[in-house]
Each structure stands twice: as C-alpha cells, then as structure tokens.
Amino acid sequence: MSEELNQDICEEDTYKHLYDSYATELHNYLYYKFGESCNPNDKTQDAFIKLWENCKKVLFSKARGFLYKVANNMVLNDLKHRKVVLRYQKEKPIDRTNENPEFLMEEEQYFKKYQQTLAKLTEEQRVAFMLNKVEGKKHEEIAQLLGVTRKVVEYRIYSAFKVLKEELENFRIK
C-alpha cells in the first residue's frame, strides 16, 4: 500500500489505472446528483483533464477526492452560470415607448426631411458637416483630412448649418 501512495500520477500507466478505476464511478455520481442536464460525460472528462494538468501537485492517495471535488465544482459553476443567463433572459427590454403615436410620426417625418435636406447640400458641405457633427472631428482634423485650410472647413460647416436652418424648422444641433 505504501508503494501505491508514492506513485506518480503523471506516469501513463498510473493515470490510466486511475481513469479505469474512477471514470464510471464519477460519471454515475454526477448523473445521480445533478441529472443528465449537467453533461456528466463532459464533466468527468474535464475533471480527468484537470487531474492530468495538476498531476505533479496531486498525490495518488488524494486523486479520487480531487476528481470528485473538481467535477462537483464544475457542475456548480455551470449551474450558477445558467441562473445568471435565465435572470437576464427574464429581464427583456421594453419594446414600447411612452411617446404618443403622433409624436413618433412627426419624428419620422422630420428625420426624412432632415435626410432630404442633407442630400441637398453640396458634397463638400455634407462631408465637412458630417465629419464634424457625426464623427466629432475638430475643424483642424477635417482640414488635414480634406487637404484644405481650417477657414474653408469652417465656412463649409457654417453654410451647411445655414441651409439646414432654412429648410428645417426648430433645427438645433450641439
């Protein structure tokens, strides 16, 4: 027996002996305790993989306990993860708004008119305006991108604003 206690788990024959001795027993334990939904086959295999990865640290006499502890913890972690997933599935985002249908229709019409007005701008105005207001680039950055001076970029953005204000009522942008 003392010879068995000092066996190195990293040796192939010893590891195979442990697998043959405990694999079915461990699978049955997981199946009886947690059911088929916990994938006892996978958890058993994963536990033996963990044993192989830690074979230098685990004594032969402690191998069975190590396998059971690792497999049990894997299943418990899996169950915790499922609880979290279920909790977030229950919290569906609300797919309705508090705005009345009239407001939503007006918003949609305004957006269409905004797109049409953007289409009326010259390409230079539209590019400078979108780079500044949509992408948040500074005038100097836009000037470098377009290969023009900063004053030209400022003029293009200003003229785009002027057109948008004329075409759209209550047009304001930050």
Return all residues near 6 (Cβ < 8 A) that are at least 6 apart.
Answer: 60
The two structure tokens encoding residue 52:
């192989």
Q: Are 131 and 156 in contact (CB under 8 A)?
A: no
pLDDT at 144 over 70: yes
* Residues of the domain holding 67: 2-90
Instruction: Give 1's pLDDT tier (boundaries 50, 70, 90).
Output: very low
Is there a domain that residue 49 lies in?
yes
CATH number, domain of 76, equals 1.10.1740
pLDDT digits (tens, 9 = 90+) for 48-60: 999 999 989 998 8
Is there a domain that residue 173 lies in?
no
Instruction: Give 2's pLDDT tier (boundaries 50, 70, 90).
Output: very low
Is there a domain that residue 95 lies in?
no
In this structure, the answer to whether residues 13 and 62 fall within a common structural domain is yes
DSSP annotation of 36 reads G
Residue 65: what pLDDT? 92
In this structure, the answer to whether residues 12 and 82 fall within a common structural domain is yes
In this structure, the answer to whether residues 85 and 108 fall within a common structural domain is no
Return all residues near 91 (Cβ < 8 A) that are at least 6 apart.
Answer: none
In this structure, the answer to whether residues 63 and 111 fall within a common structural domain is no
End of a domain among 90, 122, 155?
Answer: 90
pLDDT at 3 over 60: no
Look at the alpha carbons of 148, 150, 156, 157 in this order and tell me if their dihedral is positive or negative.
positive
Residue 34 Cα distances to 55, 71, 168, angstroms: 27, 11, 64
DSSP annotation of 83 reads H
Q: Which of 93-102, 105-114, 121-130 has the lowest mean pLDDT?
A: 93-102
Is there a domain that residue 172 lies in?
no
End of a domain among 33, 59, 90?
Answer: 90
In this structure, the answer to whether residues 52 and 110 fall within a common structural domain is no
Prediction pTM value: 0.50
Residue 93: what pLDDT? 66
How many domains is the chain built from?
2
Over residues 59-67, mean pLDDT? 91
pLDDT at 7 over 80: no
Over residues 84-103, mean pLDDT? 76
Instruction: Give 42's pLDDT tier (boundaries 50, 70, 90).
Output: very high
Q: Rounded mean pLDDT of the chain? A: 86
Q: Are 15 and 52 in contact (CB under 8 A)?
A: yes
End of a domain among 90, 114, 142?
Answer: 90
In this structure, the answer to whether residues 39 and 71 fall within a common structural domain is yes
Determine phi and psi for 136, rounding to 5 degrees.
Answer: 75, 20
Is there a domain that residue 96 lies in?
no
Q: Are 150 and 139 in contact (CB under 8 A)?
A: yes
